[in-house]
Amino acid sequence: MEQIIELFRYQFFYNAFLSALLASIACGFIGTYIVARRIVFISGGITHSSFGGIGISYYLGFNPVLGAAVFSILSALGIEYISKKTEVREDSAIGILWSMGMALGIIFIFLTPGYSPNLMTYLFGSILTVNTTDLLLMGLNTLVIVVFFLIFYRIILYISFDEEFARAHKVPVMLFNNILLIMVALTIVLSIRVVGIILVISFLTLPQTTANIFTKDFKKMIGFSVLFGCLGSFSGLIISYYANIPSGASIIFSFAVIFIIAKVLKELSLSFHLRHQ
């Protein structure tokens, strides 16, 4: 225990811990909405299309996070528009933007003059390189998400489970859908540094799926998702540090282990309950 406390004396580990905590909170809220709405595939499309923004930013000399954010937001709104306003199916629109974003990212990074950036940082994350600016952006994003959910909780609940009911009560469903998709896009982009493009979708689904084992209540799911996200993130960080393995993969592996343990405990509990009946 003393060795773990000692780690917090290092600034890089302290930053990594804070970023994991902020990502767990933001993804706990947004991920619950994603799982409830069953738009995990859309989130995957947004995640991978953000790579296009990273590549273009490197080529033009901009901040990669800014480029990824703009590209992700445009992709999120583009998927919604194409699937609703044209004859193209939603899964096809996602596949098109998914592949186009990845292709553009690779092309522009290849065309960027000078030293080629390390793609592993964006594909698999590099939480130990998180800086103060990253933490401020993640903190602001998390604050906005939490406040938005607290103010509009009931509307988000209606939209997540029954859009027709929400429309019948004069809720501006399209506006809220677009706002929430923008929040999904920004949360994904700001979590890339933590676990990377390849693994960030697991940050938005694994803790929420684990939470769903214990409750179907939307509010409780958010709470459990944040709890499991924090637990898995911190465990993954510790394992990553001592085993000298990539932090992003270690965090997601911890999420998977927590899910398996939770599933086994739930099954054992049900079996025990049935025996005593």
pLDDT of residue 143: 96
d(CA 215, CA 132): 36
pLDDT of residue 139: 92
Per-residue three-class SS string for 44-108: HHHHHHHHHHHHHHHHHCCCHHHHHHHHHHHHHHHHHHHHHHCCCCHHHHHHHHHHHHHHHHHHH
Site of tokens 């343990």: 261
pLDDT of residue 256: 94
pLDDT of residue 4: 67
Whole-number average pLDDT of the chain:
84
Q: Does residue 41 or residue 119 have the better pLDDT?
A: 41
Q: Does residue 66 or residue 227 have the better pLDDT?
A: 227
Judge whether residue 45 has pLDDT over 90.
no
Range 146-160 average pLDDT? 92
Site of tokens 């996070």: 65
- Kindly state the tokens that stand for 90: 């939603």
Q: Does residue 118 or residue 231 have the better pLDDT?
A: 231
For the chain, which residues make up each domain, given as ranges? 2-276
Range 171-185 average pLDDT? 89
The answer to whether 251 touches 236, Cβ cutoff 8 Å, is yes
Report the percent of the chain where pLDDT is more than 70.
92
Question: Of 134, 107, 128, which is closest to residue 119 (Cα–Cα)?
Answer: 107
pLDDT of residue 277: 64
For domain 2-276, the CATH superfamily is ABC transporter involved in vitamin B12 uptake, BtuC (1.10.3470.10)
Q: Per-residue pLDDT tens for 66-117?
A: 888 888 888 888 877 776 777 677 777 778 888 888 888 888 888 887 666 6
d(CA 26, CA 129): 20
d(CA 232, CA 257): 9
Range 192-197 average pLDDT? 79
Which of 60-64, 222-226, 254-258 is least confident? 60-64
Q: Per-residue pLDDT tens for 228-271?
A: 999 999 998 888 888 888 888 888 899 999 999 999 988 888 77
Buried b (16+ CB within 10 A) or exposed e, 144-158: ebbebbeebeebbbb
The answer to whether 122 touches 51, Cβ cutoff 8 Å, is yes
